[in-house]
Amino acid sequence: MSTTGVYVSALEFFSIGIGPSSSHTVGPMRAAHTFGGELSAAGLTASVDRIRCNLHGSLAATGIGHCTPDAVIAGLRGLDPETCEPTDVHGRWAELSDGGSVMLVGGSLGHVVFTHEDMVFEPLVRRHGHPNSMTLTAFSGREIVCTSTYLSIGGGFVLRAGTETQASAHSINSRYRTAKELLAECDSGTIAELALSDEIAMHGKDRAFTGIDAIWSAMRACIERGTQTEGVLPGRLGVRRRARSANIQLEQRNCDPFSREWLTVYAMAVNEENAAGGRVVTAPTNGAAGIVPAVLYHHIRATGAGAHDVRTFLLTAAAIGSIIKANASISGAEAGCQGEVGAACAMAAAGLCAVMGGSPRQIENAAEIAMEHHLGLTCDPVGGLVQIPCIERNAVAASTAVTAAQLAYLGDGTHVVSLDTVIETMRQTGNDMSVRYKETSEGGLAVNVVEC
């Protein structure tokens, strides 16, 4: 079977960016960057004197807490989430006064007027049926020069409205679309080997290995920063960072490297860094970014595993994540947190089972167990911030991923419920779930936690 664009390159699936949200920060920055580039390429920048951004749906409902306005301004200025300094992004919208200006892409293309009033929040509006959409409009006087609507579809991926079926620039015509078809392709090899062949086809061997190693380096650095940083996270909740103090306690107790207490510290470290707006790797989103790196870091620290295990883990995780993305969603705004933390847990369980020596069927079973036990999980961040319950949820899910991998490895890969069935159930559950519980902060914890 040939299926367009099912396998998404690990180099894009695990994209290096900034916090606190892949869909609300990284995606809008990329959309605004694209829009500015299009104005420049069309030779329109000289005539543009004003830009307006309309944020729709979830981007409007929780945009302030997710730094969406800051991200839009950064993208219009030509900043890229992978290479920019987080300090050059956060706080820029608050600094913008009436009549303030934003420099367009390239820095030498002049200024356009962009005020607080030009960032329009429309939480009840959906464009093209998607909960995360934004429309950028460029004006010359009162005349519209150019307008485009973008969909932020989760994980930092962005599509221009009207091109929803367009394949990713880093995806490939796959031999499989489902987990069943993936297993059929692995009769004489592993999932990681199959994924690597696709990576090499897209990037070449050197670029594939270099890119995967860079992703792991960024993940590891995020954990290490998080375990060494203390203080209070941004926003009105006043949430204190806990990873550093927990890390110190475990060191003082000479805690066994195999202990899952370390695992929870590593996951919290990543998500505290994300909540602070720091450098983080989507895995597959920012809100769920702590699970995959925590499980892999814990495995390496406990066993001394090297580069081969890192690549096997991340390639396996990318293959499983690609199937979830193609057949359901990795977006909290579309599927609730089952699409973010549930997907990340399945990916981490699959990766760990692979480096434990599990067969493809055991790996598929590990992902199924992990995903199954996140079905129905809502996304209702308190205060529109990626803090409560997100940080602790990553720590709990990291532990669940290890349990799922161990359970699957103890079996022979035979099980009643398939990963494909669970993914389809997740998709249906997401469709049935009230929008109040899908990253809008209109239900659940978000409305029941009393802010002091």
Domain boundary among 100, 121, 153: 153
Report how far Cα 335 is from the mean position of its chain's Cα atoms: 14
| Torsion sign across C-alpha atoms 218, 223, 229, 232 | positive
To the nearest whole number, what is the mean pLDDT of the chain? 92
Predicted confidence at residue 172, as pLDDT, reads 63
In a domain, 44, yes or no: yes
Based on the domain organization, do 30 and 105 belong to the same domain? yes
Q: Decide if pLDDT at 4 tops 80.
A: no
DSSP 240: B
97 or 91, higher pLDDT: 91
What's the rounded mean pLDDT across residues 421-433?
A: 97
Q: Quickly state the pLDDT bin for 34 (edges 50, 70, 90).
A: very high
Provide CB contacts within 8 A for 355, sequence distance 6+: 299, 305, 309, 312, 313
pLDDT reported for residue 96: 79
Q: Which of 100, 126, 153 corresponds to the end of one domain?
A: 153
Name the maximum alpha-carbon separation found in the chain.
68
For 226, the domain range is 172-447
pLDDT on residue 93: 86
Does 142 share its domain with 258? no
Q: Which two tokens stand for residue 125?
A: 């509006």
Say if residue 310's pLDDT is above 90: yes
Number of domains in the chain: 2
* Residue 7 counted as domain residue: no
pLDDT tens string 217-275: 999 999 999 999 999 999 999 999 999 999 999 999 999 999 999 999 999 999 999 99
162 falls within a domain: no
Is 438 within the bounds of a domain? yes
What tokens were used for 237? 């909740």
Q: What is the pTM of this model?
A: 0.92
Residue for token digits 């779930």?
Answer: 433
Tell whether 331 is covered by a domain. yes
> What one-letter code names the amino acid at 389?
P
Domain boundary (96, 123, 153) is at 153
Please tell me the predicted confidence (pLDDT) of residue 309.
97
What is the CATH classification number for the domain harbouring 104? 3.30.1330.90
What is the distance between the alpha carbons of residues 233 and 210, in angstroms, rounded to a whole number? Answer: 33
Instruction: Give the three-class secondary structure for 298.
Output: helix
Per-residue confidence at 319, pLDDT binned at 50, 70, 90? Answer: very high
Taking 3-state DSSP, the helix, strand and coil percentages for the chain, each rounded to the nearest 5, stand at 50, 15, 35
